[in-house]
């Protein structure tokens, strides 16, 4: 993992501290052993804490300037809580989040406000994250009321129209209300609001999962183009693994509050060494019927355990086919396994980290196969692959 931020001088709090340029390739956000527990209480009058939901339990990673870090995991793994803690919307229970070397959990007042300006969020559901009683102009312009230094009062309308233009909406729509837009257009409004303060980091929490398939690609392309234009760093939280792979430079996999594996997209998707990542990748339905027979799927048994009472040792051990006695007693650390080489050697929190050789070659074959097939289809007329879909095809009038 890169660790370049130590070079940054300890700047005094205040807005000026964040004007220091961070070079491309340096960590802009450093997260260390971040913990977020939600207490479970009992009793109405006298509240007793009886336990805690360990939503995020010791997560460390760097977000590098200009990169996209994808975070994948199933519901309940803590990925959205992680986003909220990074935004300082929820106070962290323990651990540190440093923005350009500055510990953000210790900040307050103007210094915190300045950091928040630079970390913005795009939410999942564009239907509920936009106030239905506000016009688009008010929604996108609201950040300027909190940070008036970005756009002086007289310029705000113009600034909002520019933002609408940047995200591909007609600037004349400034007086419309959210309900007059489709889902994809609403998500563009959400993105424009996130961009308003010219942040350096945008945390996207499932930004396309509520959208129609044909519109998802449009929004992904917009995010990609904005990143290049404004040199943004993205943290891209999603459960759609193929979209995450498309947009991410690095990918982190979370399970039950822990980061279990992190690496470049190639390391994670082609050389995964953690059993959970392997199961997750193998479970993704491929849009290629020819792969139906050849794929080697790992179907996990059971459900994710409760984060209020996670298993001892490795949290994945209850569903893992490799689990041994050691997994129940010893928590595996997120580190590069010394016994692996090449691309397989990246951070993985498993005592028995190893590539899944057979599956991996099968996956490559599938991908190559489908690519070749489409190639054929495009060049060679209507031949298709000759396979009959089985089941018998009924005539259509």
Partner 1 sequence: MSSSTSTSSRSTEPRRDTTDSKDAPLLEVRGLHVEFHTREGVAKAVNGVDYSVRAGETLAILGESGSGKSVSAQAVMGILDSPPAKITGGEIVFKGRDLLTLGSEERRKIRGAQMAMVFQDALSSLNPVHTVGMQLGEMYRVHKGLNRKDAKAKAIEMMDRVRIPAAAQRVGDYPHQFSGGMRQRIMIAMALALEPDLIIADEPTTALDVTVQAQVMDLLAELQAEYHMGLILITHDLGVVADVADKIAVMYAGRIVETAPVHELYANPAHPYTRGLLDSIPRLDQKGQELYAIKGLPPNLLRIPPGCAFNPRCPRAQDICRTTVPPLFEVTDDEGVPAPGRASACHFWKETLHD
Closer residue to partner 1 (CB): 49 or 180: 180
Taking the complex as a whole, how short is the minimal distance between the CB of residue 360 and partner 1, in angstroms? 14
Rounded least distance, CB 107 to partner 1, Å: 35
Residue 115 C-beta: closest distance to partner 1, Å: 30
Between residues 145 and 182, which has the closer beta carbon with respect to partner 1?
Answer: 182
Can you give the three-state secondary structure of 328-392, one letter per residue? HHCCCCCECCCCCCHHHCCEECCCCCCCCHHHHHHHHHHHHHHHHHHHHHHHCCCCCCCCCCCCC
Q: Give whichever of 46 and 299 is closer to partner 1, judged by the CB atom.
A: 299
Chain centre to alpha carbon of residue 315: 21
Contacts to partner 1 by CB under 8 A: 74-75, 182, 184-185, 212-218, 220-221, 224-225, 239, 241-243, 245-246, 265, 279-280, 283-292, 297, 299-301, 303-304, 367, 371, 373-374, 376-378, 381-385, 387-397
For residues 235 and 61, is the Cβ–Cβ distance under 8 A? Answer: no
Q: Quote helix, strand, coil % in the chain, to nearest 5.
A: 40, 20, 40
Give the shortest CB-53-to-partner 1 separation in angstroms.
Answer: 15
Using CB atoms within 10 A of its CB, is residue 268 exposed (0-12), middle (13-18) or buried (19+)?
A: buried
Least distance CB 42 / partner 1 (angstroms): 19
Least distance to partner 1 from the beta carbon of 356, Å?
15
- Of the two residues 147 and 239, which places its CB atom closer to partner 1 in the complex? 239
Structure tokens at 71: 């975070």
Nearer to partner 1, 137 or 275 (CB): 275
CB 99 within 8 A of CB 119: yes
Closest CA relative to residue 274, chosen from 235, 324, 313, 317:
317
Nearer residue to partner 1 within complex by CB, 115 or 211: 211
Rounded to the nearest 10°, the torsion over CA 224, 61, 307, 124 is: -20
Q: Which residue has the tokens 């690519």?
A: 371
**How far apart are CB 271 and partner 1 at their closest, in Å?**
14
CB 204 within 8 A of CB 123: no
Nearer to partner 1, 13 or 73 (CB): 73
Task: Give whichever of 106 and 374 is closer to partner 1, judged by the CB atom.
Answer: 374
Q: Where do runs of H (alpha helix) occur along the chain?
A: 79-86, 109-118, 136-146, 156-166, 183-195, 213-230, 241-247, 265-270, 275-283, 291-294, 325-329, 357-379
Minimum distance, C-beta of residue 245 to partner 1, in the bound complex (Å): 7
**119-122: strand order across its sheet:** 119-122, 201-205, 233-237, 68-72, 250-255, 258-264, 347-348
Residue 14 C-beta: closest distance to partner 1, Å: 38
Task: Pick the closer one to partner 1 by CB: 109 or 392.
Answer: 392
């Amino acid at each position: 993992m890169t660790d370049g931020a130590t070079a940054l001088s300890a700047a005094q709090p205040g807005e000026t501290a964040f004007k220091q340029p961070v070079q491309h390739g340096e960590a802009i956000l450093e997260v260390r052993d971040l913990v977020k527990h939600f207490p479970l209480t009992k009793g109405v009058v006298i509240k007793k804490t009886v336990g805690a939901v360990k939503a995020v339990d010791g997560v460390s990673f760097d977000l590098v300037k200009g990169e996209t870090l994808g975070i994948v995991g199933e519901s309940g793994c803590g990925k959205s809580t992680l986003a909220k803690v990074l935004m300082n919307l929820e106070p962290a229970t323990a651990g540190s989040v440093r923005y350009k070397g500055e510990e953000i959990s210790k900040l307050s007042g103007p210094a915190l406000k300045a950091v928040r300006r630079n970390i913005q969020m795009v939410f999942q559901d564009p239907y509920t994250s936009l106030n239905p009683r506000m016009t688009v102009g008010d929604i996108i312009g609201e950040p300027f009321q909190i940070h008036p230094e970005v756009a002086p009062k007289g310029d705000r309308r113009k600034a909002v129209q520019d933002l609408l233009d940047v995200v591909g909406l007609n600037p004349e729509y400034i007086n419309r209300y959210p309900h007059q837009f489709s889902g994809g257009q609403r998500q563009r409004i959400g993105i424009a609001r996130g961009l308003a303060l010219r942040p350096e980091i945008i945390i996207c929490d499932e930004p396309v999962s509520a959208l129609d398939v044909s519109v998802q690609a449009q929004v992904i392309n917009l995010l990609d183009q904005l990143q290049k234009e404004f040199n943004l760093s993205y943290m891209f939280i999603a459960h759609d693994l193929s979209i995450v792979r498309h947009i991410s430079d690095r990918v982190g996999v979370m399970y039950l509050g822990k980061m279990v594996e992190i690496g470049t997209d190639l390391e994670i998707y082609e050389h995964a060494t953690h059993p959970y990542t392997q199961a997750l990748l193998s479970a993704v339905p491929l849009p290629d019927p020819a792969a139906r027979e050849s794929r080697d799927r790992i179907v996990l048994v059971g459900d994710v355990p409760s984060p209020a009472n996670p298993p001892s040792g490795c949290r994945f051990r209850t569903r893992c086919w490799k689990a041994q006695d050691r997994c129940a007693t010893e928590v595996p650390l997120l580190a590069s396994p010394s016994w692996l080489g090449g691309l397989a050697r990246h951070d993985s929190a498993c005592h028995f980290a190893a590539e899944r050789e057979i599956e991996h070659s099968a996956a490559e074959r599938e991908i190559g196969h489908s690519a070749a097939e489409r190639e054929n289809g495009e060049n060679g007329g209507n031949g298709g692959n000759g396979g009959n879909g089985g089941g018998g095809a009924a005539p259509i009038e």
